[in-house]
Amino acid sequence: MTAGYLSIPTTATAQKERSSSAAVRVRGLSVKLASRTLIDDVSVTFPEKRITAIVGPTGCGKTTLLRSINRMHDHSPGITVSGDITVGDTHVYGATTHLRELRRRVGMLFQRANPFPQSIEDNVGIAPRAHGMVSRRQSRELVEQQLIEVGLWEAVKDRLSSSPFTLSGGQQQLLCLARTLALSPEVLLLDEPTSALDPGTTEHIEALLKRLRERMTILIVTHNLSQALRISDEVAFFMAGKLVEHATSNTFFHEAADQRSRDYVSGRVG
Amino acid sequence: MAVIEADAGGTPAAGAATPPRPSLATEMTRGDRILKVVATVAAAIPGGLVAFLAAIMLVTALPAIIFNGTNFFTGTVFSLGHLYTTNTVTHNGEVAPSGASYGALSFIIGTFSTSVIALLLAIPVSVGGVLMLTEWFPRRIQGFLSIFLELLAGIPSVVFGLWGITIFAPYMAQHVYPALSHIGTVIPWFKGPIIQDGEGLLSAALVLGIMVIPIIASTTRELVRQVPVLAREGALALGMTRYEMVRTVVIPYIRRGIFAASLLGWGRALGETIAVLLISGNALNSLPHSIFSPISTIAATIASVLDGALTDFTGMGIHALAELGLLLLIISLITNFAGRLVVRRLASGALPVGRGV
């Protein structure tokens, strides 16, 4: 699985594949931890330039599904993934897939802010430099641009060289978002990104996601149904590792086809 | 304790009508009292021992301190004098055998040079090795190789000394040092001559380095394990390679701890006695002019000279060794405190190790 891990794609390919969004197609995906099945034969397509909320009770495999898409399971011994996932035309688990380039195209934001123990500026600039997308000199510009994008620039412009741990939790999460966006991803994976944040920052991030939808595919795992209602175009509802229902938000919240979905929406389950 | 008492004192005022609640801090059973006494004694033991030891050393060393004056720090000749005659010399009112001179400069230099070179070798090897082990090796091999690290830590230092003097030093003197001495044309410290069996500064430092590796490596391993998984995943999710992740995330997280671990290792290297005594060439009267020169350290000198000093009829030999011991004690305390200070200063840079998991 990790054969192509250390190979570095040329800047040319990186340039070429940038700034386009891509649909994520999941076909017959199963994920097992030892003998326990976490995801059971799931097929679903997440359309491009849409926000899809992935919802379901705790332990239903939402996060596991999300982590399959950028192959985070590669680093967890004991987890086996079978089936096929494509991002655009790229087979995520293909033998010739460059993991490095895949992860450039598929960004991820975690449940809690995890800034690097580096300066605020380097937090945003370090990955684009590592990918050869910008030179050290250009990186300053990119950093500013991304921090403006997420609305953090005014707060940090005078202390770019200080530690990100001096920022508030919400600001740290925004910094992590800027860090992810700096790679111009086509797909954005969000694992309950606002569950540890205050309502103000949550609202800010939600507005941001609606804006980002115009240029990328967004998948958001959330426990917060009202959040899903507010921002998502589509909803994928999971229970016990299986996809129960995938519908537009409007349909899911108001006239879901499956009884279990209706129970979940009305708060009887989960 | 203070907090509890303050709390207990505050409560009765709140309910003036009700009788004061019995305070937990004052209500003590016999068991509590015994525990209190035992705990107080136990808590006082470490500090008390250090103070007691330092006091004894100071008292024993005092005649030598008066006799030596500054010669102790500037003199390069360490001799107990003529112990088989009854001739004595008097200096600053203190009596010593004739010919006695207690200059410790070469030991001070020997102690610092061996321990610093040992650290320079041990830090990159241990940190690099541990990162290699934890980041790139499969978990099963990690456990297996870690056993050897612990075994290395358990080898008695006299075994290191014996191995050093019988196998390691002669081998190095024959095969490695001659090549190394070519650097001497550029950096004078690398110029020979090389002692045939390899006894000297570099051999002692190398063996010390090997002895220090397990200390630094095992601490580093614990530090690496404490790096939050979430922080690592943040780097990996951005498509960074393992090397880039280690550089961006792991090393900044463990940097401060490595510094502390190095100080632990330094403490060990400063005080190591028997291995250095066997390998250093035990030079009591000369300053090293190159890394191949025979040297001696403070600790090794105390061990090697003690026998002779005990036969000193004036007692000054023992006093002089006590002064050496006192110096070693002070150096150890200073490095320890300096280390703590630096660790605390770095800590104020706010690096929340463990946050986010």
Round the average pLDDT of chain B to a whole number and report it.
85
Give the residue with greater pLDDT, A81 vs B143. Answer: A81
Instruction: Give residue A47's pLDDT.
Output: 93
Query: Which of B236, B241, B249 comes nearest A117 by C-beta?
Result: B249
Give the number of other Cβ atoms within 10 Å of residue A197's Cβ.
22
User: What pLDDT does B84 receive?
Assistant: 83
For residue A136, give Cα distances in angstroms to A131, A144, A216, B39. Answer: 12, 13, 26, 58
Q: In this predicted structure, what is the pLDDT of residue B52? A: 93
Q: Is A48 helix (H, G, I), strand (E, B) or coil?
A: coil
φ, ψ at A151 (rounded to 5°):
80, 30
Q: Measured between beta carbons, which residues in chain A are less than 8 angstroms from residue B352?
A: 165
pLDDT digits (tens, 9 = 90+) for A147-174: 999 999 999 999 999 999 999 999 999 9
Residues of chain A with pLDDT under 50: 1-19
Choose the weakest-confidence range: A200-204, B4-8, B259-263.
B4-8
**Alpha helices per DSSP H over B155-288:** 157-163, 169-171, 177-180, 201-226, 229-237, 242-245, 251-271, 274-279
Q: Which of A77, A113, A165 lies closest to B350 in CB terms?
A: A165
Task: Report the pLDDT value the prediction gives residue B196, as an integer from 0 to 100.
Answer: 80
Categorize the per-residue pLDDT at B287 as very low, low, confident or very high, splitting at 50, 70 and 90. confident
* pLDDT tier for residue B344 given thresholds of 50, 70 and 90: confident
Taking an 8 Å cut-off on Cβ atoms, the answer to whether A126 and B228 are in contact is no
- Residue in this structure with the two tokens 């002089």, named with its chain if needed: B320
Which pLDDT score, from 0 to 100, does residue A7 have?
A: 42
Q: Which residues of B touch A115 (CB under 8 A)?
A: 234
The answer, for A180 touching chain B at a CB cutoff of 8 Å, is: yes
Q: Which of B268, B258, B245, B160 is nearest to B216 (CA)?
A: B258
A72·B241 Cβ contact <8 A: no
Q: Give the closest of A103, A117, A118 to B238, CB-based.
A: A103
For residue A227, what pLDDT is reported? 93
Q: Which residues of chain A have a CB within 8 Å of the CB of B248?
A: 116, 118, 126
CA distance A163 to chain B (A): 8
Structure tokens at B22: 């019995």
Please state the rounded mean pLDDT for residues B42-51: 91
Q: What is the amino acid identity at position A39?
A: I
Answer whether B238 sits within 8 Å of A107, measured CB to CB: yes
Q: Which of B228, B252, B352 sits opposite A118 (nearest CB)?
A: B252
Q: Does A17 touch chain B (CB under 8 A)?
A: no
Does B10 have pLDDT greater than 80? no
DSSP string, B259-315: HHHHHHHHHHHHH--HHHHHHSB--SS---SSTTS-B--HHHHHHHHHHHHHT-TTS
Half-sphere exposure of A90 (CA within 13 A, CB side): 22
> Taking CB atoms and an 8 Å cutoff, what residues of chain B touch A103?
236-239
Contact state of A72 with B352 under an 8 Å Cβ cutoff: no
Q: Find the closest chain B residue to A2 by CA distance.
A: B241
pLDDT of residue B283: 84
Distance from C-alpha of A232 to C-alpha of A248, rounded to nearest angstrom: 8
Residue B9 is predicted with a pLDDT of 42
- Say what the pTM is: 0.78
pLDDT of amino acid B325 = 95
Q: Which two tokens stand for residue B15?
A: 């309910």
- Cα gap B153→B257, rounded to integer Å: 19
A262 in contact with B at a CB cutoff of 8 Å? no
Counted residue by residue, chain B has a size of 357
CB contact under 8 A, B248 and A116: yes
Cβ A165–B351 below 8 Å, yes or no? Answer: yes
Query: Which of B226, B232, B233, B238 is the mutation pick for testing A, counting most A CBs within 10 A?
Result: B238
Stretch B271-280: mean pLDDT: 90
Chain B nearest-CA distance from A168, in A, is 13
Contacts of A19 (CB under 8 A, 6+ apart): A184, A215
Q: Rounded CA gap, B92 and B66, in Å? A: 6
Q: What is the pLDDT of residue B356?
A: 33
pLDDT level of residue B20 (50, 70, 90 thresholds): low
Cα–Cα nearest to B61, from B327, B335, B334: B327
Location of structure tokens 């630094």: B216
Name the residue of chain A whose CA is nearest to B352's CA.
Answer: A165
At A234, give phi and psi (nearest 5°): -135, 160
What is the nearest CA distance from B237 to chain A, expressed in angstroms?
6
Tokens 């005022």 belong to: B13
Q: In the CATH scheme, what is the code of domain B105-297?
A: 1.10.3720.10
Mean pLDDT of B278-299: 88
Chain B nearest C-alpha distance from A62 (Å):
17
Q: What is the pLDDT, as a whole number, of residue B165?
A: 93
Task: Please answer yes or no on whether B240 and A130 come within 8 Å at the CB atom.
Answer: yes
Q: What average pLDDT score do residues B143-165 get?
A: 89
Residues in B touching A126 (Cβ below 8 Å): 248
Contacting residues of B for A114, CB less than 8 Å apart: 228, 230-231, 233-234, 356
pLDDT computed for residue B182 by the predictor: 83
Among residues B336, B286, B355, the alpha carbon closest in space to that of B50 is found at B336
pLDDT at B138: 81
Interface contact flag, A127 B238, Cβ < 8 Å: yes
